[in-house]
């Protein structure tokens, strides 16, 4: 498990935005992972996807690393943001835009606004 945690720590520290998910950004394998990946994809965020289904050590390790029991998990600049519900709420409230802006993460502001309009 130490190897998995080291690998997780390295992945999170070497990439500005990381999504630990079931499946991949191009082929999510659960609805919650699909929702978060869709938001990031639609907003044009450059992120690293980590398929937890491909490695049981990572799948369990990420839960311990973040002390968060569910997947997906989003990290921005090494900081744990949250899972599907939190990312959804932050997207709809504009907090995700603010987080990306404050951390220097490039995203499509118009796309973020379209998501909010569609869910108003």
Total domain count, the chain: 1
- At residue 63, the 3 state secondary structure works out as helix
Q: What is the pLDDT of residues 58-109, one digit of tens each?
A: 999 999 999 999 999 999 999 999 999 999 999 999 999 999 999 999 999 9
Q: What is the pLDDT of residues 36-47, one digit of tens each?
A: 999 999 999 999
pLDDT at 44: 98
pTM: 0.96
Assign residue 20 the CATH number of its domain: 3.40.30.10
How many Cβ atoms are within 10 Å of 38's Cβ, its own excluded?
A: 13
Q: Check: CB of residue 29 under 8 Å from CB of residue 41.
A: no
Alpha carbons within 13 A on the beta-carbon side of 67: 1
Owning domain of residue 18: 2-118
Q: Assign 1 a pLDDT band (cuts: 50, 70, 90).
A: low
């Amino acid at each position: 498990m130490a190897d998995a945690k080291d690998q997780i720590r390295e992945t999170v520290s070497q990439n500005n935005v990381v999504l630990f998910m079931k499946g991949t950004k191009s082929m999510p394998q659960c609805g919650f992972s699909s929702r978060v990946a869709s938001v990031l994809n639609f907003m044009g965020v450059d992120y690293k996807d980590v398929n937890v289904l491909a490695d049981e050590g990572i799948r369990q390790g990420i839960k311990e690393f973040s002390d968060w029991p569910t997947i997906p998990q989003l990290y921005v600049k090494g900081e744990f943001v949250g899972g599907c519900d939190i990312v959804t709420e932050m997207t709809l409230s504009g907090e995700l835009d603010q987080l990306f802006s404050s951390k220097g993460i490039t995203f499509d502001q118009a796309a973020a606004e379209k998501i909010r309009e569609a869910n108003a």
